[in-house]
């Protein structure tokens, strides 16, 4: 009899190997290989040879009869999914433990159930009593959501196949699900992949929309089953700093809608509250008039979002100065620092640099460069920026300020929130800015902006007591003012 095949599967990327090894050759992670029985999700008996069946090919221009989308009734959630859940689609919601995934989905299912749709919430992690407790706390206990605490995929599919097809099914979480078709333990890549596959098949066949909840590992990936990300139709990630009440739902992949659209929520004692004007929220606790802060007029998806960027530049006692970034790309910060140093004479090599995006937002746009540079120079020169100014523009390696998209939308949002001026690139891409009631200050190169900010600065008192080595690290233009 043939030996039962087993393979070593990387729990990070899903690559399979014949023998154990310390490092996964596919993704480079260490100690991620786990022995799993069976190398295929489908048992051999089912894979028995059979002749293919013929099927009819369809034209691209066909009609699909019923309304494919089902809005959840939470505007911020619908914005991220692209207008609601698509029939027969599978959506993966990832996020750190405790960020509020179960809360969000309890609220969404309750709203849909109240609107008369059949919704089912399957919890593999919590007992029914715990789910009920949460619903009670959210004031949603009366919603006709059908609940179950189950982990067997076969049982779940058998139960849901009976009666009217549910419109929405939540599986919380995919890591707790297991299927009989493979022998690995629940939570392993093989199990998660096979369970997801079975559920996806059920969604396509029945037309129900399924939401899978997935946990995130310490390095921000949806744990183990990156493979699941490829299988599902959309991946949403629920982010936020645990200590802050803001939560951001971001679409990472979406076959039926936009990516880079965000939904903003606030975690309150009564569950998640939707925030329809995020700029107001991100600017609500502004530290007016202190150096090192600049307001960035950004675009998240289709929506302009104003957010405060904070920088602290402090003399370093370390051989290699510290660079700490929260909410922005650290490579991007290094680039801006290098441009400031190379083209504007701002020597930052003797300074620690701390950079933070207020409110727990994560910015991916290159348009944030100019605002970041303004905040950095403002901190170094101890020169508060005008409190009524917003900044945006991309910085190129030559020190030029490059145009960015959607200038009018950024200006309009700034004007709406009471800002009086905007510092922006000289040229604009696309539509020319109508003045929108703001006074516009265009900058062609970073040098002129730096000179402008430094000219208004007052050196920090501590700067006078610095030793000569540190003085050498101070830019010439700032040193003059000290002398
Ligand atoms: P939960 O939805 O269980 O997180 P996840 O499913 O992502 O692991 O949310 C847990 C956190 O949310 C918990 O720390 C408490 C907090 N919370 C509130 O602040 N208010 C609420 O109304 C609820 C239900 C939870
Ligand atoms: Mg949960």
Asked whether residue 3 carries a pLDDT value surpassing 90, the answer given is no
CA 460, 464, 470: angle at the middle one, nearest 5?
A: 95
Distance 190 CA to ligand 1 centre (A): 29
pTM for the predicted model, two decimal places = 0.76
**CB-based pocket (< 6 A), ligand 1:** 95, 97-103, 134, 137-138, 267, 269-271
- Is residue 315 pLDDT above 80, yes or no? yes
DSSP 381: T
Name the DSSP letter for residue 304.
Answer: E
pLDDT at residue 264 tops 70: yes
- pLDDT score recorded for residue 469: 44
Q: Does residue 342 carry a pLDDT above 60?
A: yes
Per-residue pLDDT of 13-70, as tens digits, reads: 778 888 899 998 888 888 888 887 754 545 555 555 667 888 888 788 877 655 578 8
Per-residue pLDDT band at 224 (split at 50, 70, 90):
low
Mean pLDDT of 375-383: 93
pLDDT above 90 covers a percentage of the chain that reads 45
Lowest pLDDT segment from 13-17, 241-245, 269-273, 331-335: 241-245
475 CA to middle of ligand 2, Å?
51
The whole-number pLDDT of residue 29 equals 83
Ligand lying closest to the C-alpha of residue 138:
1
To the question of whether residue 263 is assigned a binding role by annotation, the answer is no
User: DSSP state, 384?
Assistant: P
Report d(CA 207, CA 70) in Å as an integer. Answer: 12
Q: How far apart are CA 454 and CA 379, in angstroms?
A: 10
Q: How far is the CA of 135 from the centre of ligand 1 (A)?
A: 11
Per-residue confidence band for 435, with pLDDT thresholds at 50, 70 and 90? low
Question: Going by C-beta distance under 8 Å and a sequence separation of 6 or more, which residues neighbour residue 319?
Answer: none
For residue 222, the model assigns a pLDDT of 55
| Residue 100 marked as a ligand binder | yes
Going by C-beta distance under 8 Å and a sequence separation of 6 or more, which residues neighbour residue 318? 352
Is residue 467 scored above 80 in pLDDT? no
Confidence of residue 198 (pLDDT cuts 50, 70, 90): very high
- CA-to-CA dists, residue 289 to 165, 390, 441, 448, angstroms: 58, 14, 20, 22
CA of 80 to the centre of ligand 1 (A): 20
Residue 218 marked in a binding site: no
Which numbered ligand comes closest to the C-alpha of 270?
1
| Ligand 1 mutation target, pool 94, 95, 97, 98, most atoms within 8 A of CB | 98
Ligand 1 center from residue 95 Cα (angstroms):
12
468 pLDDT exceeds 60? no
DSSP 161-214: HSSSPPSEEEEE-GGG-B-TTS-SPTTSHHHHHHHHHHHHHHHHHH--EEEEEE
Q: Is 96 annotated as a binding residue?
A: yes
Atom from ligand 1 closest to the CA of residue 125: 6
Average pLDDT over residues 333-345: 94
| Average pLDDT estimate for 229-254 | 86
pLDDT of residue 113: 93
pLDDT of residue 262: 87
Positive or negative: CA dihedral 23, 26, 32, 34? negative
What mean pLDDT is predicted for residues 70-93? Answer: 91
User: How far is the C-alpha of 147 from the C-alpha of 245, rounded, in Å?
Assistant: 28
Buried b (16+ CB within 10 A) or exposed e, 256-267: bbeeebbbbbbb
What is the average pLDDT across 410-433? 84
How far apart are alpha carbons 119 and 108 in whole angstroms?
10
Query: According to the model, what pLDDT value does residue 308 have?
Result: 93
pLDDT, averaged across the chain: 84
- Is 155 annotated as contributing to ligand binding? no
184 is in an annotated binding site: no
Question: For residue 1, what pLDDT is reported?
Answer: 47
| Ligand in nearest proximity to the CA of 95 | 1
- The pLDDT, as a whole number, for residue 64 is 63
Amino acid 146: pLDDT: 93
Give the ligand 1 atom nearest the CA of 213.
Answer: 6
Q: What is the mean pLDDT of residues 230-234?
A: 90
C-alpha 137 to ligand 2 mean position (Å)? 15
Nearest atom, ligand 1, residue 242 CA: 14
pLDDT at residue number 465: 44
d(CA 416, CA 275): 17
Distances (CA, A) of 328 to 46, 331, 465: 49, 9, 33
Residue 51 CB partners (closer than 8 Å, separation 6+): none
Q: How far apart are CA 210 and CA 204, in angstroms?
A: 10
pLDDT at 4 > cutoff 80: no
Q: What does the alpha-carbon distance between residue 232 and residue 109 come to, in Å, rounded to a whole number?
A: 20
Atom of ligand 1 nearest to the CA of 96: 7
Q: Which numbered ligand comes closest to the C-alpha of 107?
A: 1
């Amino acid at each position: 009899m043939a030996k039962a095949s087993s393979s070593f599967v990387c729990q990070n990327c899903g690559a399979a190997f014949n023998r154990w090894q310390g490092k996964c050759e596919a993704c480079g992670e260490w100690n991620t290989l786990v022995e799993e029985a069976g190398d295929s999700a489908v048992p051999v008996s089912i894979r028995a040879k059979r002749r293919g069946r013929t099927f009819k090919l369809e034209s691209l221009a066909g009609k699909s009869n019923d309304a494919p989308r089902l809005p959840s009734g939470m505007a911020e959630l619908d914005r991220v999914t692209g207008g609601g859940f698509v029939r027969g689609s599978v959506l993966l919601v990832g996020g750190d433990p405790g960020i509020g995934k179960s809360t969000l989905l309890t609220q969404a299912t309750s709203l849909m159930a109240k609107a008369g749709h059949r919704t089912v919430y399957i919890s593999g992690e919590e007992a029914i009593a715990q789910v009920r407790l949460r619903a009670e706390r959210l004031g949603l206990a009366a919603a006709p959501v059908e609940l179950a605490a189950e982990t067997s995929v076969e049982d779940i599919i058998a139960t849901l196949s009976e009666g009217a097809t549910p419109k929405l099914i939540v599986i919380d979480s995919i890591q707790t699900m297991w299927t009989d078709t493979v022998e690995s333990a629940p939570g392993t890549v093989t199990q998660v992949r096979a369970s997801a596959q079975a559920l996806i098949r059920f969604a396509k066949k029945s037309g129900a929309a399924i939401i899978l909840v997935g946990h995130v590992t310490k390095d921000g990936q949806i744990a183990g089953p990156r493979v699941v990300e490829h299988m599902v139709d959309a991946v949403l990630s629920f982010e936020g700093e645990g200590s802050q009440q803001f939560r951001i739902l971001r679409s990472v992949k979406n076959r039926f809608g936009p990516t880079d659209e965000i939904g903003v929520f606030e975690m309150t004692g009564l569950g998640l509250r939707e925030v329809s004007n995020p700029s107001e929220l991100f600017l609500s606790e502004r530290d007016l008039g202190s150096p090192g802060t600049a307001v960035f007029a950004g675009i998240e998806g289709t929506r302009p979002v104003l957010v405060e960027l904070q920088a602290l530049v402090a003399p370093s006692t370390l051989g290699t100065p510290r660079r700490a970034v929260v909410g922005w790309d650290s490579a991007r910060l290094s680039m801006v620092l290098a441009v400031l140093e190379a083209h504007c004479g701002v020597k930052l090599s003797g300074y620690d640099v701390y950079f933070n995006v207020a409110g727990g937002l994560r910015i991916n746009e290159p348009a944030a460069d100019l605002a970041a540079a303004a905040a950095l120079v403002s901190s170094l020169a101890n020169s508060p920026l005008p409190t009524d100014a917003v900044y945006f523009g991309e910085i190129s390696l030559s020190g030029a300020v490059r145009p960015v998209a959607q200038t009018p939308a950024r200006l309009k949002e700034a004007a709406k929130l009471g800002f009086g001026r905007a510092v922006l690139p000289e040229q604009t891409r696309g539509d020319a800015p109508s003045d929108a009631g703001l006074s516009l200050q265009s900058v062609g190169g970073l040098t002129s902006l730096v000179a402008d900010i430094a000219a208004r600065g007052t050196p920090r008192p501590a700067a006078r007591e610095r030793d000569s080595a540190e003085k050498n690290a101070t830019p010439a233009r700032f040193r003059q003012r000290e002398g």
